[in-house]
Structure 1
Amino acid sequence: MADGVIREDGEREETARGLTWPFARIPEAGEAISVADGVWWLRLPLPMALNHINLYAIEDGDGWAIIDTGLFTPVSVELWEDLLAGALKGRAVTRVICTHMHPDHIGMAGWLCDRFEAPLLMSRLEYVTGRMLVADTGRPAPESGRTFYRAAGWTEEQLAGWGRDYGQFGRVVSAMPDAYHRLTEGDVLSIGGEDWEVVVGQGHSPEHVCLWRRSDDVFLGGDQILPKISSNVSVWPTEPLADPLGDWLASLDRLAELLPEDLLVLPSHGEPFRGVQARLAALKRGHGQALARLERRLETPMRAVDTFASLFARPVGDGLRGMATGEAVAHLNYLERQGRAVREADAEGVDWWRQADTLQKSNGE
């Protein structure tokens, strides 16, 4: 999971296999490091377990195309002021490209677009979903959310806490532009005279944009391919029967068919790396192991919250319960779609999951 919960699949040890790290250090605050012709690596802090986000600036004529933006916080505003005046040499921002709608990626987008009268470029599902979640800020928590988390096994105290904290998304996102330029699979953007092809992934978010410069195989991967952690793949209350893990695994297969081995991957978290085929294989293997382990343990009926020990390598605290629940339900929904698990709701509305063949045996089949 990309935000601090570590899966129990030995993935940390596997990440070093087949990967190389071209750069000896990471950018300091206010610094930009050249990572490819005309491409500069920036980094902003995040106030969470995953404590940073990588941003990228691409030379675009006399200005810069910015890829992702960081959270909208006083710290980020100050650091962006320093970057614009210093490392980015006072040049204007020509466009802001957001890989997807999570707050650490779109948080400062409106601020930058407004300051430079620059367009925002996103895929349609990411833009619309981001606008929707910002609009939820300050709303009372919906009953559908309580139903979802109660079904997953949350206590009444935990549900009350979720209700108090609901609607925080927009507090770290500056006002999003009222218009945007849509990106779709296969689009080609000309940035600084070079072609960047749009490659869309799914699972971590609905229509995640990556950018590929085929001329020298530079790949801006966002959260779609991370070097040392697996991106969070979750089911959320807005779409409780979704199968994002199926989407994620299909995207991994497609990327493995599409991308060359010597690609330079510029991720949103961690460090730039080479060895994309080894990384994609490790990500797929890790989820496969987690699914097999979970299916075995469903011989005994479980709620979603009871599966945490099967999926994660450390206890899940209050701050990560929502994402851990979302990822657990994603694995369970996937098994259900595959005919490998079934759920039964009890009188209190709690879902109990078990192996599909266990249910058949209990029915005498």
Structure 2
Amino acid sequence: MIPNDIIYPGGAKTMQITFIDAEIPEPGTLQKVAPGIFWLRMPLPFDLDHINLYLLEDNQDGQEGFALIDTGIGTRETEELWDTILDILGKPITKVIVTHMHPDHIGMAGYLVEKFRLPMYMSQAEYFTARAIFAGPCGASDWQDDEYLVRCGMSEDYVHNAKKNRKESKGIRQVIRPIPLQFYRLQAGEHIRIGAHEWQVYIGRGHSPEHVCLFNKDSNILISGDHVLPGISPNIGVYSTEPDANSLKMYLDTLPQFTQLPEDTLVLPSHKQPFHGLHTRVNDLIGHHHAHLDNLRVFCEQGKTIEQCLPVLFKRKLNSHSMNFAIAEAFAHLNYLYFEGEFSREINAKGQFIFTLK
């Protein structure tokens, strides 16, 4: 990890990471975090058991209400919590802004858009990726999913069980309400007006294709989604849909732009708590991934499979849910080193990728 007293080219030291002095909102309640901005939480059925959502005072076509940043996972429990929140607000949602296409962010967008007949804002790549994933395989074979796991060095039993689980699962439709057929596109450098303020769009990549972050220079607030999180790193993965993706490079390339924002920016993340210390956190995240890369350089002096590299990156025990993300994360780090020309990547007699330090 890069220490918190790292010196920047301008000569100033970074701030320590500090959380705001506000209680974490219980499900179904609101917590004010800045003038006109309210923080709420929705539960998630994962190890990371919550997502932060934000309501911003807004005026759409003369109607007062709240713009919503992200929506929660598409379950009955979340719907009931939304009904509670809407009763508390006493005003409608005016627009839904989705930072990216993962189910905890877009899951309830269709429900809210339909309920209020309101516009939904996303980046283009996130919107169409969400539509594609929601549509499912549409009759296409899943042999490439199997091949992906073989390439990763997973056992025959693991590949067989994964295939069985895919056939038995109802897929992503279980946790995403039908996605609206219309969206308004957010692009890097553009602004979206929310209430009395203009918010500039920043795009992050690597965790998802075209992740939207929003910055307001008047209030000095960054809505960071999953791109910049305190205490944890977002999953940066390579999945079966694009096995030659260089996700980690995309992530590392789109982090430094946030050090150009004011150091004392208030960051509103999708998980954990709102915080100050943006520059420090960005550099911690960069340092975190470079430490993993250094460890892999040492470990892969002799060729290794992706599965063999998991203990180098993850010290905790991995359950079936987290294993999927861990495989993808290890793949992303090894692909990075491969595309940088530091590693070779060969396929052995078992069909597995073997990564070796050159």
* Aligned-residue RMSD, C-alpha: 1.7
Aligned pairs for 1:253-264 (under 5 A) are 253-256=256-259, 258-264=260-266
1:137, distance to aligned residue in structure 2 (A): 6.8
Aligned pairs for 1:118-157 (under 5 A) are 118-136=118-136, 142-157=142-157
Larger relative CO (CA 8 A, sep 6+): 1 or 2?
Answer: 1
1:139, distance to aligned residue in structure 2 (A): 5.8
Aligned pairs for 1:103-252 (under 5 A) are 103-136=103-136, 142-166=142-166, 168-252=171-255
CA distance in 2, matches of 1:201, 1:42: 23
CA distance in 1, matches of 2:275, 2:213: 15
What residue is the counterpart of 2:12 in the other structure?
A: none
Runs of 4 or more above 3 Å deviation = 137-141
1:141, distance to aligned residue in structure 2 (A): 6.0
**TM-score, length-scaled by structure 2:** 0.92
1:220, distance to aligned residue in structure 2 (A): 0.5
SS in 1 for 2:208: coil
CA distance in 2, matches of 1:180, 1:140: 27
Query: Contact between 1:309 and 1:315, CA under 8 Å: does it hold in 2?
Result: no
CA distance in 2, matches of 1:140, 1:76: 32
SS in 1 for 2:121: strand
Amino acid of the structure 1 residue aligned with 2:181 = D
Amino acid of the structure 2 residue aligned with 1:70 = G
CA distance in 1, matches of 2:351, 2:27: 49
SS in 2 for 1:200: strand
**1:295 pairs with 2:293:** no
Q: In the comparison of the two structures, how many residue pairs are matched?
A: 341
Query: Contact between 2:150 and 2:352, CA under 8 Å: does it hold in 1?
Result: yes
2:20 to 5, 13, 22: 22
Query: Contact between 2:71 and 2:104, CA under 8 Å: does it hold in 1?
Result: yes
SS in 2 for 1:221: strand
Amino acid of the structure 2 residue aligned with 1:242 = A
1:117, distance to aligned residue in structure 2 (A): 0.1
1:107, distance to aligned residue in structure 2 (A): 0.2
1:231, distance to aligned residue in structure 2 (A): 0.5
CA distance in 2, matches of 1:85, 1:307: 50
What residue is the counterpart of 1:33 in the other structure?
A: 31
Aligned pairs for 1:89-108 (under 5 A) are 89=90, 91-108=91-108
Taking a change above 3 Å as real, the CA distance of residues 10 and 189 of structure 1, as seen in their structure-2 partners, is closer
CA distance in 2, matches of 1:302, 1:157: 20
Query: Contact between 2:23 and 2:31, CA under 8 Å: does it hold in 1?
Result: no
CA distance in 1, matches of 2:117, 2:320: 40
CA distance in 1, matches of 2:317, 2:305: 16
Query: Contact between 1:43 and 1:52, CA under 8 Å: does it hold in 2?
Result: yes
Amino acid of the structure 1 residue aligned with 2:155 = T
1:354 to 346, 353, 356: 356
Gaps of 5+ in 2: 7-14
CA distance in 2, matches of 1:199, 1:218: 13
CA distance in 1, matches of 2:28, 2:129: 31
What residue is the counterpart of 2:10 in the other structure?
A: none
Gaps of 5+ in 1: 1-8, 357-365
Query: Contact between 1:21 and 1:273, CA under 8 Å: does it hold in 2?
Result: yes
Q: What is the percentage of aligned positions where both structures have the same residue? A: 39
CA distance in 1, matches of 2:295, 2:83: 48
**TM-score, length-scaled by structure 1:** 0.90
CA distance in 1, matches of 2:160, 2:175: 22
After superposition, the C-alpha distances for 1:163-212 in whole angstroms (9 at most, x for unaligned) are: 23336222100000001001000111111121111111111111000111
Query: Contact between 1:141 and 1:163, CA under 8 Å: does it hold in 2?
Result: no
2:320 to 305, 318, 321: 318
SS in 2 for 1:189: strand
Query: Contact between 1:140 and 1:163, CA under 8 Å: does it hold in 2?
Result: no
1:10, distance to aligned residue in structure 2 (A): 10
CA distance in 2, matches of 1:120, 1:101: 12
What residue is the counterpart of 1:73 in the other structure?
A: 75
SS in 2 for 1:216: coil
SS in 1 for 2:52: strand
Query: Contact between 1:226 and 1:270, CA under 8 Å: does it hold in 2?
Result: yes
What residue is the counterpart of 1:59 in the other structure?
A: 57
CA distance in 1, matches of 2:294, 2:138: 40
1:94, distance to aligned residue in structure 2 (A): 0.9
CA distance in 2, matches of 1:287, 1:322: 19
Taking a change above 3 Å as real, the CA distance of residues 143 and 22 of structure 1, as seen in their structure-2 partners, is same
Amino acid of the structure 1 residue aligned with 2:225 = G
SS in 1 for 2:178: coil
